């Protein structure tokens, strides 16, 4: 398994709305085209209306690399700069879990 967490800090409420739409369109394509993406969960953050957190779990590193090559992912990565003030990526290793294959 290969996993990561990303926290995005957005510029404004208007940019957040547009970012959320971009994310919805991207997740729709991930769902259809990426069998190796096991979890792609996006979250709002309590008391931080301009923050979003993504939790992503892939079957393995190759599935993540395949995700990065997809046109919908490239579109997201190219467009995110318009909405995102800053972001931080943490690569994580699942240990004790419920709901993920082991």
Give me the mean pLDDT over the 82-93 stretch.
Answer: 97
CATH classification for the domain delimited by 2-92, as one of 3.30.70.100, 3.90.245.10, 3.30.300.180, 2.40.50.140 = 3.30.70.100
- Position 100 scores a pLDDT of 85
Indicate if the pLDDT at residue 32 is higher than 90: yes
Domain boundaries defined on the chain: 2-92
Give me the mean pLDDT over the 36-54 stretch.
Answer: 98
User: What is the sign of the dihedral through the CA atoms of 78, 65, 26 and 47?
Assistant: negative
What's the whole-model pTM score?
0.94
Q: Are 85 and 9 in contact (CB under 8 A)?
A: yes
Give me the mean pLDDT over the 60-80 stretch.
Answer: 98
């Amino acid at each position: 398994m290969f996993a990561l967490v990303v926290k995005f800090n957005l510029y404004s409420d208007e940019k957040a709305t547009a970012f959320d739409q971009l994310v919805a369109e991207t997740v729709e394509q991930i769902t259809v085209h990426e069998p190796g993406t096991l979890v792609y969960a996006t979250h709002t953050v309590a008391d931080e209306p301009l923050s979003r957190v993504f939790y992503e779990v892939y079957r393995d590193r190759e599935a993540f690399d395949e995700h990065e090559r997809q046109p919908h992912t490239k579109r997201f990565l190219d467009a995110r700069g318009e909405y995102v003030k800053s972001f931080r990526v943490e690569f994580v290793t699942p240990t004790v879990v419920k709901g993920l294959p082991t």
